[in-house]
Structure 1
């Protein structure tokens, strides 16, 4: 889930309507009813059903080993999919456990320290929170180094501009925004 808690996404009829994901055991999380009547899926369930490239964000570094274990043996389009995190230690652990997995550390800014991190981790992509932090020079440098550029924080108009500028991928919690884009 994108949120750190179930508070915003739990349906008003859910027997569990609040709590931090990191603090709730699976026996509690599986009882959460999301808006629209859906349940919270386990990562394995998502991986069993997904047929499109994924951007799998590790929110809690302590979960990294479990995430990598869940990915082992799966047929996933790794040319377009990425394992990402705002936490450099989580991305570094992914590379330690599974060097073949393409990673994309997420950052608010693209500065010299971020470029050094990308090199250190042999990252496949530049990944930023907002399109505003991806000027043309960032796209050019990423592409020149063999990396793709992935960003979020886009509405329809900004996504078209970002795509025209060479951004390769988009993250959103509303897949209707990216439907039909390639």
Structure 2
């Protein structure tokens, strides 16, 4: 399983915020929110302190690491102030979607100083991962795939495309290629301090 540091490196290195349109966050953002939610304590930082002001982006992609498993949520900030949540998981029942949505509703309510209840949807990738360790690879692949689609097409809503975007040919052989590419690039960084494109982002 990928560590938070590796995931955050990949997101920071290979995705860029698209002003007013899309932002892929690092894993520390949901970790920070989930800890505050568990204690029901008002955050002493806002999400903007961690990774910019979410309200300025139409789409926010949020990696989630809970119980040694990765999934992610795409948050759609609608023009009327409402929110849509799309939870995407590569394992059936890997994460409790209802818990994740409750955390996000609580955080958005606290940060907005008003009641916020998002409309929530859950999706499983097809095909699903075939072993218990490739969840991070799958998550990064679909984060990049969906963010690229958003950046290229600028949809008014992702609702009608999200199910199709979570399907495709990211099967065992391609997951293995992506994993090996990532390992080589990380080894190169350790040895030379440089990196190039990782295969996971070119599939």
Q: TM-score, normalised by structure 1?
A: 0.28
Q: Which has the higher strand share?
A: 2
More helix by share: 2
Larger relative CO (CA 8 A, sep 6+): 1 or 2? 2
